[in-house]
Chain A
C-alpha cells in the first residue's frame, strides 16, 4: 500500500472499509486478464456490501476466465477530502489500482439520490464525467438496476444501460466488449453493436424532440437501435447462477448476513410500488435449490444469520416447509433466521414461533395508508383487522416492539386518511394493553410515515407528487393527532423525497442540472448531513428547468413519457387500467387468484408465471 494512503487511513473514520482484503474477495493475476471490470456502487461501503444483486454479479463476473471484477465504493466525505488533497485517485478495493485502469466502469442504480455520487466517483477516478468526453473504447460507463427503468436523467453521463436482470445480459455485454477490444473497434462501433443486444439501451443513439410545453413529442432511435428496449429476465431461477460464497466484510455493514432469494417479482399489485411492476413476471426458486444454496453460503461465509429475501416472503408457496428445513440446519449451528417482508395478513402464531426460536427482534408491518378507502386506492390488499390480528398474536407471544409503516401524499389522500394513521396506532396500543402477558415491561410502537414519490413504470406515474408545503402541512397535522401514549411517531423531512420525485420522472434535459449541482458540491444526497436541497433546486432553475414540472404536475393520460421506450414487462395499457381502477378505489386481485393481464408473462415466451 502507498505510504500516503497509510497516512490517510490513520486519520479517517472506519478505515477498514477502504482496504479490501476481506474473506471471499477475489484476487487475480493481471497477466491473465483481458477485461478489467469495476463494479461501482454509488454509496458507502457499508451500503454497497449489503446489496445482494452486487454480490451475485461480482461472483458471476469473477467466475469467468479473463475477467477480473473489482468493487469500487464511494468514499465518505473525510476520505474523499484526504484523497483529493493527496492527489490519490479512486481505486478498486481488490487491486488498489486507479479507476482509470479499468475497461468497464459499471454502476448499479438503486436510488435517485445516489446519482451525484456517480459523477463524483468518475471524477475522483480520473475519468471524464460526460459520455461525449470519453472518446475511446476504454472507460465504457454502464449502468443497471431499478433506476435504469428511467435512465434518461443520466443520459449525458452513461454510455449504456442494461435493463432488467443483470445475470442474463452481463456476459453478452462483456463478450461483445472483449471482441471489440481484441479487434480494435471504435467506441461508436461498439455502442452501435451493443444496442443490438436485447435489453441494452444506448441513450446516445436516440433523438428526443420536445413540445413547446416541455413534454416529449417523440423519441427516435438511430443506427438501427430498437424502438422499444425490452428488459431481460432470468427465466429459471433454479438454474441461474448463485454465488457459493459472499465477500464477508471485516467491518460492520448495514445488512451483515447471508441471504437467499426466494423469488423474483411479486404477486401483489400494490400500485405505488415500482419493484412490484418492474420485476414481473413472478419466478420462484425451488425449496431444494434454496436449501442447497443456503447451506453453501453459510458454510463458506461463516455468517451467523441468514435472511430469506424477496418482495413478499409470506407469498412463497413452501415457506413453512422451507423454514422448517432451514431451522433444522441453522439451530444446531447457532445461526439465526430472519424473515423480512412478512405481510400482516399472513402472520401466524406458528410462523412466529419458528422465527422466535432463534432470536426475537422487532416486528414490522407495512400498512401504507390509514383508511381502507386509501388502501384500496393503492391496492394494498390488507385490512385493519389483519394488522390488529397480527399484533394480537405478537403481543400474546410476548413481543413488545412493533413498527408500523405508512406513506403520506398518496394520490386522492385527504386529512381523514391521515387521521386514520393515528387511529390504527391507537388501536394497536389498545391491543397491546389487552393482550400482553406483562404490562410492566412496556411496549414500543413506532409509526413511520414517509413521503410518497410517484415512480415511473407504475400506475401512479401520471400522478402529481405533493409539494414540499403540502408534505409539511401533513406532517404538522400528524404531529398534532399522533398523541397516543406508547406510540412514537417518526417522520423525515420531505426535501429528499421531493428531489427524488423530480429526478425519478425526469428527462435527459436534467443532465445539465445534475452536472451543475455536482459541480457546486452536491454529493451523498441520501445522507442528511450532506444533503443540500436549496443547492439542488437552484441548479434546476439555473438550467431553465422547473422542478415542479417533473414532480408535482398531474400528467395527462396521453403524455409521452421519457421512459416509454424502456420496457419493464408490464404494459402501459395495464398501468393505465390500474390508474383508472385506483380512482374508483377498486382493488385488483393478486396474481395467485386471478391474472390481471399485465403482459409480463409474454417475457417467458410461452411459459407461465409461477403462481
Chain B
C-alpha cells in the first residue's frame, strides 16, 4: 500500500458540490473505475480519501488535491483517463502520482492564487477597474475578518499580493494571491472591501476560481 495524490479540477456544475459531498463523489467515482483503494478497517469501513484545502461551495478550482491510499504496487495505468470517464460533469483528474516520503505536507501551503470575476448587469461601470487598483495600492486596507476565534480587524494588504486587474466590457477580472493555511483570507474579502470602500459600485455577480497554491517560498504545491 502506498499514498497517492491526485491533482484535479472542480469546475462548471461541479463547483456547487460541497466538501463532504465531494468526498462521497470521489469515493464512488473511484469505485466505478475500480481503483484499488485502501479501506479503513474500523466498524464503519470506508474508502479513505482526504481533500487538501477544500474550496468553498460555489468556488471553482483547477489546482485541487485529493490524497488516498492505493493497495496495488503502482498507480494503475490510464488511471487519469479511467477516472475522467466516470466523473460527474465538472470534475477532471489532471495527474495522479505516488507520494514518496509522504509528499509535500498540506500544512505547508501558505498562499493561493485566485481569479476573481466581478460581473455587471449593464456593462462595467466607468472607472471601476482603476478605483479597485487604487484601493488595493493603499498601504492599509482595514477589514473585519471573521474566523472561528471571533472577529478581528486586520490590514488585508498584508494578506494579499500580486494583484492584477483586467478591464472588460461586462466584467472585470482580478488575479490575486491571498494568504492560505493558518492566516487564510478568503478572496471574497476583496469584494467586501470594494463594497465597503467603494460603495458607489453595485456588484451583482462575483465568481471565484482557484488557479494555484503555493508554499511559503512560492513553490507550487504538488
Contacts and interface: CB of A to CB of B under 8 A. Distances in A.
Interface string B19-39: 011101101111110000001
Contacts of A83: none
A292 interface: no
A20 interface: yes
A21 B88 contact: yes
B28 A19 contact: no
Interface string A317-335: 0000000000000000110
A529 interface: no
B57 interface: yes
B47 interface: yes
A302 B88 contact: no
A587 to B, nearest CB: 42
Contacts of A3: 119, 205
Contact of B32 (A1, A252, A302): A302
A283 to B, nearest CB: 31
A566 B27 CA distance: 46
Interface residues of B, number: 33
B88 A250 contact: yes
A302 B18 contact: no
Contact of B16 (A16, A299, A301, A303): A16
Interface of B: 12-14, 16-18, 20-22, 24-25, 27-32, 39, 44-47, 57-58, 86-90, 119, 204-205, 207
Contacts of A299: 32
A19 B13 contact: yes
Residue from B22, B30, B32 with most neighbouring chain A CB atoms (10 Å): B32
Nearest to B56: A10
B32 A23 contact: yes
A332 to B, nearest CB: 11
Contact of A300 (B25, B30, B32): B32
Interface in A5-31: 6-7, 9-10, 14-16, 18-23, 25
> What are the 9 tightest A-B residue pairs by CB atom distance, in nearest-first order?
A21-B13, A302-B28, A21-B89, A302-B31, A302-B32, A15-B16, A19-B13, A16-B16, A23-B88
B16 to A, nearest CB: 4
A250 B25 CA distance: 6
Contacts of A304: 27-28, 31, 46
11 contacts: A1-B13, A14-B18, A15-B57, A18-B16, A20-B13, A250-B14, A250-B17, A250-B21, A300-B32, A304-B28, A359-B44
A334 B207 contact: no
Given A21-B89, A22-B88, A16 B32 contact: no
A251 interface: yes
A248 interface: yes
B29 A7 contact: no
Contacts of B32: 23, 299-302
A436 B58 CA distance: 49
A71 B13 CA distance: 16
Given A16-B21, A23-B86, A299-B32, A7 B205 contact: yes
B45 A334 contact: yes
A304 B13 CA distance: 24
A296 B29 CA distance: 15
A21 B32 CA distance: 17
A301 to B, nearest CB: 7
B76 to A, nearest CB: 16
Given A23-B29, A23-B32, A302-B86, A251 B21 contact: yes
A21 B12 contact: yes
Contacts of B89: 20-22, 25
Contacts of A23: 25, 28-29, 32, 86-88
A410 B207 CA distance: 56
Given A16-B18, A16-B21, 19 more contacts: A6-B207, A7-B204, A9-B58, A16-B16, A16-B57, A19-B16, A23-B29, A248-B88, A250-B17, A250-B22, A251-B21, A252-B21, A301-B28, A302-B31, A303-B28, A304-B28, A304-B46, A334-B39, A359-B44
A502 B179 CA distance: 60
Contacts of A20: 13, 89
Interface in A329-353: 333-334
A18 B87 CA distance: 18
Contacts of B204: 7
A273 B22 CA distance: 40
